Structure 1
């Protein structure tokens, strides 16, 4: 599919009433927030990356086939965690900032600044490490600057009071800082030296948001990268001790993810001490994902939880020569798979993780900042929401 054709199907088909006031009944039921603002990478990107001419494959079928029935710039077959969070709260799906206002809508309900391929650290950091820098120049700092530019149009005066009603999703971010290094052949020992800097960049962004007036933030940790098909393919080993016996994931890579998450938890603890009036919620994406990888059948997934649905063959159905959207074949039932394209997850997996965030996978629990949200979500049906984005 030509790039122009791919972009043409990304136009947002937002119903005329898909504004915050149209969702006021749902918001009152949930008793939560009136807007969501998101920062991150492809895990949360709802259409920014394709507008940066990044990763054209995500602009082709079968991306978006399950819920939207056309590609939207999301790196999945359907909705992402951020989409389910928006639906939890009763808000429209969060619009990508780079969509602008050319479709007649504004960012009253929030904006998504996440960009596929984005890093927590700026490009100059990787250049200083002698790395080949070829990815999008939309680091966390740049995304934050875009938010600052948008802010005056949302609240010309007394932004701090308005921002009390906004929910901020800061991440997942940092994964690409490590992905680029691992795939350029850097050692795990060297990449571990990046982690404090990555965590510091996330902490600085949170500090800046609090200074601007943000009061409630969800900050996700890293996924278990040792269970991701691209890593399993790249780092295949004949040594049994390299793998977790229970899951088949690569143990040393998962240990790396947990190292990042430990440092991030420490940073969030320090931030809570410095800002007791802010609610900083850690979202444990790692354990939420591991729960379904350890017991896939319990959550409705098939017997091969590590293999991609859309891929080019091999033991984990991932092949760099035939990637999803460009030469790969797609499975007949994405909802029975956890992995979508060998890097990102399916809508079905993201849905389970999003539901898990209402249970034991957030610290402090989301229900503390939004007491009615769990009852609201349990009484609602995600799939009755229209594909409005």
Structure 2
């Protein structure tokens, strides 16, 4: 367990209303597919399939009550239902984005023409070769951002054929790069490494994300959405493991100030680097999705959004002030589940409920007239782009 001194650090941003403009449109004005990279915030089943391929013990987060809002229950999603990427696909009129790894050995390339998801729960941005010398071991998967990009490159000939057709396919796709990087920090901080030591990873993580974006642009990407990190100081798991009388809490939200400052440090650096990429590629739309402030809206005003059981307590987990017990994971027989998940923001202490993801998605990607990201002159909360 982490000691209280290991959990340190972010200046709070106000929620900014910005205009999303000048999106590329094709044919009927919509993107023809979604291509996604990331971790558990976007994984729609890849970790579940990786576990099946390797015959390893099933992770609790792949078992009910995860995915309980779906007819077939556990879908490999780290929530009780849909994720942000699912709500985005619905708004674009596309099928829910399927995981790249499939039971049929990836013979699903026709489906992938409308979307393919390479995100893996537990994934880091940095490769194990970078993390392990720093004493950081990923206990879940080695499917780092580099591995996911390699999968994408390997799959292209089967999805779209020759290089010209694949450039067209990529150019017509909405590409999500992230959220990614959170686990590079989660593992060391939750295992007791001081935040001051973890901060040195931030430039490495951001540079890895930017390098991936540049590769995708080189392959023909025209529209990319790059999310920032969530306010981890509001996470029930962090509050349980890192909270102490020595920590400063935000009086309005009850979140850990220093941890949110750490997330903001990552987000600021990411936005700075994205601006540099935009300057080099003025013909490419690169949008920063402000997950941090979209989520902070909920943490500041939970009752406004129907979260009558508060924003900080987990729905599924164990005992304790935040319904989190590090020895009891959601998905295990000994875990408890709340009666009304839609009234909770936190699902399992790390991930959010479907209801919270719905609100965040709406705040990021919706207006009353908003039907798809490829509409012009639409507004959203915390989504900023290149002009």
Q: Tell me the TM-score normalized by structure 2.
A: 0.84
Residue 209 of structure 1, CA deviation: 0.4
Q: Distance in 2 between matches of 1:366 and 1:90?
A: 9
CA contact (8 A) 1:88 1:373 kept: no
Which runs of 5 or more residues in structure 1 are unaligned? 1-26, 376-389
Q: Distance in 2 between matches of 1:347 and 1:268?
A: 29
Q: Distance in 2 between matches of 1:112 and 1:40?
A: 9
Residue 132 of structure 1, CA deviation: 3.6
Residue 368 of structure 1, CA deviation: 7.2
* Greater relative contact order structure (CA < 8 Å, 6+ sep): 2
Report the equivalent of 2:12.
Answer: none
Report the equivalent of 1:18.
Answer: none
Q: Which has the higher helix share?
A: 1
Q: Distance in 2 between matches of 1:371 and 1:76?
A: 32
Residue 113 of structure 1, CA deviation: 0.4
Report the equivalent of 2:364.
Answer: 357
Report the equivalent of 1:371.
Answer: 376
Change (3 A) 1:139 1:80: same
Residue 357 of structure 1, CA deviation: 1.1
Residues 1:279 and 2:285 are matched in the alignment: yes
CA contact (8 A) 1:203 1:268 kept: yes
Report the equivalent of 2:61.
Answer: 58
Report the equivalent of 1:91.
Answer: 94
Change (3 A) 1:112 1:373: farther
Residue 154 of structure 1, CA deviation: 2.2
1:180-329 aligned within 5 A: 180-239=187-246, 242-326=248-332, 327-329=334-336
1:61-210 aligned within 5 A: 61-68=64-71, 70-99=73-102, 101=104, 105-106=108-109, 107-157=112-162, 158=164, 159-210=166-217
Q: Tell me the TM-score normalized by structure 1.
A: 0.84
Q: Distance in 2 between matches of 1:225 and 1:62?
A: 23
RMSD: 2.2
State the Cα deviation string for residues 267-303 of structure 1 (Å, max 9, x = none). Answer: 1001101111111110000000000110001111114
How many positions carry a matched residue from both structures? 343
Q: Distance in 1 between matches of 2:308 and 2:142?
A: 38
Q: Distance in 1 between matches of 2:135 and 2:279?
A: 37
